[in-house]
């Protein structure tokens, strides 16, 4: 006995663009204590709060990417600014963006960034900006009354491309109008559109078959394939993508095709298209089912290796469920844990120096970029602090190792300056010219 469960997936969207923007960090505060009996109190500026990250999270309760079709922007909350009396700004909450299980995240160049296979998988889509430090943080023996603070870091913003590959135990593969939708409707409570013309099914439909002992398997009705689908004919690539993660392939072969193509030829074309698209699909568990047996007399039925069914009369459906269950159980045991499919592209860490086409050098690394971006380089104290910070990060040594020579142009974010070979880089500003042994540069 079957206990059908679930319904038809309407408004199915399996591709979408998404723009994610993490929250910006709040600015640090420049403040000094000024109270009745302490007219020259020390610095008491608070730090700015960090912004919120944007995470993509796989959720089995999300059916498709429909939510991103008309509203592709997602933005996290920014942190607030610090204030006097060492009051720190509040941080923004992380934003969780829920996507269906089986969602692949790609960048503009098509490189896979993350593959969110099952419930709870998450990926950091946009890193939040860190809050700026207040002037209290810069007090020391050399700076008793620092008159500068950091600005908040800008949160990351980028576009990504989302693609959904359905997670199903069994994918129904066959020509258009061979009875796939009727078959899945008779085996589950799914209600796909059914009509007597090709390409009735334009989006995948899911159905869940549950047996009396509690066993469940998910069936996916993939839109009909035609010859040349592997080369993109029709909507071949969009349809074939949903077969990639199916554990079992159910070849649906029509015993009474209107165009007279025999079941052997149907199977040959289907297997050829699968092989052309992704050869290892032919290594999956595979089951044959011959449909619309009610339109063929028993005497005309050929000697077939597979299940013969009629979704209209119910003939052979019970045994077919048993065959699919066995194939599904074997495939589940043989396939690797879905964790193996999750891909996370690590963010580069540390300081890196690259030689550009014009002969200049560019310094990469979040810490170096942040040191330049969040400080006011027109302030002499802040400029001196940036000098110390970059030296501590090893920027000088990295430039020397990369072959930089005196007079070479070096860029860090929006800052450009001339490199000096005395193991020190001189930043300079027109109003605060430093000695030749210091750093010298300008905004670029």
pLDDT of residue 224: 60
Q: Extract the tokens encoding 12.
A: 């199915």
Which of 320, 341, 362 is a domain's end point? 341
Asked if the structure places residue 320 within a domain, the reply is yes
Question: How far is Cα 91 from Cα 128, in angstroms, rounded to an integer?
Answer: 10
pLDDT of residue 300: 66
Specify whether 158 is located in the same domain as 216: no
For the residues 136-140, what does the mean pLDDT come to? 90
CB of 190 within 8 A of CB of 184? yes
Closest to 358 in 3D by CA, of 412, 409, 300: 409
Mean pLDDT of the chain: 79
pLDDT of residue 230: 42
pLDDT band at residue 339 using 50, 70 and 90 as cut-offs: very low
pLDDT band at residue 245 using 50, 70 and 90 as cut-offs: confident
Specify whether 216 is located in the same domain as 302: yes
Give the position of tokens 């998910």.
Answer: 218
Decide if pLDDT at 436 tops 70: no
For the residues 33-44, what does the mean pLDDT come to? 81
Asked if the structure places residue 347 within a domain, the reply is no
Asked if the structure places residue 404 within a domain, the reply is yes
Which of 274, 306, 341 is a domain's end point? 341
Specify whether 102 is located in the same domain as 249: no
Task: List the CATH number of the domain containing 434.
Answer: 3.30.300.350
Number of domains in the chain: 3
Q: Extract the tokens encoding 154.
A: 């800008």
Decide if pLDDT at 232 tops 90: no
Specify whether 145 is located in the same domain as 216: no
Q: What are the DSSP E strand ranges found in 41-116?
A: 54-58, 73-75, 95-99, 103-106, 112-116
For the residues 266-292, what does the mean pLDDT come to? 87
Question: How far is Cα 224 from Cα 204, in angstroms, rounded to an integer?
Answer: 10
CB of 251 within 8 A of CB of 239? no
Specify whether 312 is located in the same domain as 178: yes
Decide if pLDDT at 14 tops 80: no
pLDDT band at residue 60 using 50, 70 and 90 as cut-offs: confident
Question: How far is Cα 237 from Cα 248, in angstroms, rounded to an integer?
Answer: 19
pLDDT band at residue 270 using 50, 70 and 90 as cut-offs: confident
Backbone torsions φ then ψ of 425, nearest 5 degrees: -110, 135
Cut 0.75: pTM above it: no
Decide if pLDDT at 6 tops 50: no
Backbone torsions φ then ψ of 266, nearest 5 degrees: -60, -45
Let me know if 340 is exposed, middle or buried by CB neighbors in 10 A (0-12, 13-18, 19+): exposed
- CA separation (Å) from 359 to 339, 411, 416? 44, 11, 13
Asked if the structure places residue 193 within a domain, the reply is yes
The torsion angle over the Cα atoms of residues 425, 138, 42 and 90, rounded to 10 degrees, is: 140
Q: Could you list the residue range(s) of the whole structural domain that residue 104 is in? A: 11-164
Decide if pLDDT at 142 tops 60: yes
pLDDT band at residue 197 using 50, 70 and 90 as cut-offs: very low
**pLDDT tens digits for 179-188?**
777 788 777 6
Asked if the structure places residue 327 within a domain, the reply is yes
CB atoms within 10 A of CB 89: 25
Decide if pLDDT at 415 tops 90: no
Which of 318, 341, 364 is a domain's end point? 341
């Amino acid at each position: 006995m079957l206990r059908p469960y679930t319904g038809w997936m309407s408004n199915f969207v399996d591709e979408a663009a998404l723009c994610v923007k993490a929250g910006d960090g709040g600015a640090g505060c420049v403040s000094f204590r000024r109270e009745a009996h302490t007219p020259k109190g020390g610095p008491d500026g608070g730090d700015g709060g960090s912004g919120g990250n944007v995470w993509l999270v796989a959720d089995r309760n999300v059916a498709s990417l429909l939510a991103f079709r008309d509203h592709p922007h997602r933005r996290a909350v920014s942190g607030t600014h610090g204030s006097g009396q060492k009051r720190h700004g509040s941080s923004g909450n992380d934003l969780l963006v829920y996507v269906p299980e089986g969602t692949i995240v790609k960048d503009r160049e098509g490189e896979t960034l993350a593959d969110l296979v099952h419930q709870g998988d998450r990926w950091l889509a946009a890193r939040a900006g860190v809050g700026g430090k207040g002037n209290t943080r810069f007090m020391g023996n050399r700076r008793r009354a620092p008159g500068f603070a950091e600005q908040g870091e800008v949160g990351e913003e980028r576009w990504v491309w989302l693609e959904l590959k359905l997670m199903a135990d069994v994918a129904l593969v066959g020509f258009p109008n061979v009875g796939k939708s009727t078959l899945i409707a008779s085996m589950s409570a799914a209600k796909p559109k059914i009509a007597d013309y090709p390409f009735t099914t334009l989006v995948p439909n899911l159905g869940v078959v549950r047996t009396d002992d509690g066993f469940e398997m998910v069936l996916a009705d993939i839109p009909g394939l035609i010859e040349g689908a592997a080369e993109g004919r029709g909507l071949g690539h969009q349809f074939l993508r949903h077969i990639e993660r199916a554990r079992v392939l159910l070849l649906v072969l029509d015993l009474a095709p209107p165009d007279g193509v025999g079941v052997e030829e149907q199977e040959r074309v289907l297997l050829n298209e699968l092989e052309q698209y992704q050869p290892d699909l032919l290594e999956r568990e595979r089951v044959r089912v011959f449909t619309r047996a009610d339109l063929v007399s028993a005497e005309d039925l050929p000697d077939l290796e597979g299940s013969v069914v009629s979704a209209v009369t119910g003939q052979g459906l019970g045994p077919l469920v048993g065959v699919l269950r066995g194939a599904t159980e074997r495939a589940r045991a043989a396939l690797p844990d879905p964790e193996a499919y999750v891909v996370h592209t690590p963010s580069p860490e540390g300081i890196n120096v690259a030689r550009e086409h014009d002969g200049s050098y560019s310094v990469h690394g979040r810490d170096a970029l942040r040191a330049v971006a969040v400080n006011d380089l027109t302030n002499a104290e802040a400029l001196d602090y940036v000098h110390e910070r970059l030296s501590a990060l090893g920027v000088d040594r990295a430039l020397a190792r990369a072959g930089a020579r005196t007079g070479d142009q070096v860029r860090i974010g929006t800052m450009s300056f001339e490199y000096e070979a005395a193991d020190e880089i001189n930043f300079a500003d027109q109003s605060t010219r430093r000695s030749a042994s210091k750093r010298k540069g300008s905004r670029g």
